[in-house]
Amino acid sequence: MPEIYQNYLEDSGLTDKTRLKQMKAVTTFLRKLHIYLEKMELNLVDLSIDQVDAFLAEVNAPYALSTRRLLRSYLRGFLSYLYHQRCVLRRDLAPLVVGPPEFGQSKPPCFLRPEEIKRLFKSVQLSTAREIRTYAMLHLAYTLGLRPREISLITLDDIDFTQRCLSLKQRKANNPTILPLSEQTLKAIVTYIIGARPSSYQRALFLNIKRPYKPIASTTICLELSRLMKKAGLDATAYWLRHTYAQNILENGGSIFEVKEMLGHNHIESSKKYLHIHITMMREVLFNETL
């Protein structure tokens, strides 16, 4: 491939060993782009959105929707680099690389009903450090709708105990925000810090139960919450708590735009899928009906 492709990989930090798998995937994608442009006798400087769409239609044909979204993100990153950092393109094509609306085609998010939430919290025991830790995780997932990864990245410095709020600096869509902490959630966190968190120089909130006391991975949070669900007799996962949080916002009169902000979505389309679980709100938004 031409040098500009390799420069992009280096400048974006994808050549870091910790991101080797992603680098290989992006490299393979860019190689396909280069081959396509050569075949069509096109230069990067002359690229138009029509040509970009034609390339995506060809390269995405054999893939599932989730993979297509990923490949579009690879292309947006490269096009943004060409325009903003290399001044190769005449206009920024990255924002124009979008897929068809998919929220109407996707499966409705799964959520827990009020009686199931009661059963879930009732099943929690606080007799061990592990159970106390899981209880704090449960509160963060249910009362704030946090992803397991977002929970794993929380540090002690992110929590303002005086103002009762949590600063989320690293979110999936790069939308940092400050969220209020309910009294029960704050108590669960304090109980964990005082009674179950190992003494460590680490600033991460949640640490391994056994030595070495390192920050836990998001997979551990998923496993712990799924284990708690199973104990409560629920066939559910950690993400059901996030979906339940979105449902609660709508049930309490919140708008789909509030769901977008609170869940940290980049696009409203990502939030609209939650209308599937709130039929009244869906009809009001889509058909302008008042029931």
| Residue extents of the structural domains in the chain | 3-96, 114-287
pLDDT for the residue 120: 95
pLDDT for the residue 128: 95
Helix 3-11, helix 65-84: angle, nearest 10: 100
**Which residues lie below 8 Å from residue 47, measured CB to CB, with a gap of 6+?**
79, 89, 93
CATH of segment(s) 114-287: 1.10.443.10
**CA 106 to each of CA 134, 180, 226, 262, 274: distance values in angstroms, whole numbers, following the listed order:** 30, 31, 23, 21, 11
Domain topology for 3-96: DNA polymerase; domain 1 (1.10.150)
pLDDT for the residue 108: 58
Low-confidence residues of the chain: pLDDT under 50: 18, 102-105, 278-283, 285-287, 289-291
Q: Model pTM?
A: 0.57
pLDDT for the residue 174: 67
Q: Quickly count: other Cβ atoms within 10 Å of residue 214's Cβ.
A: 12
Q: Rounded to an integer, what distance in angstroms lies between the CA atom of residue 262 and that of residue 242?
A: 11
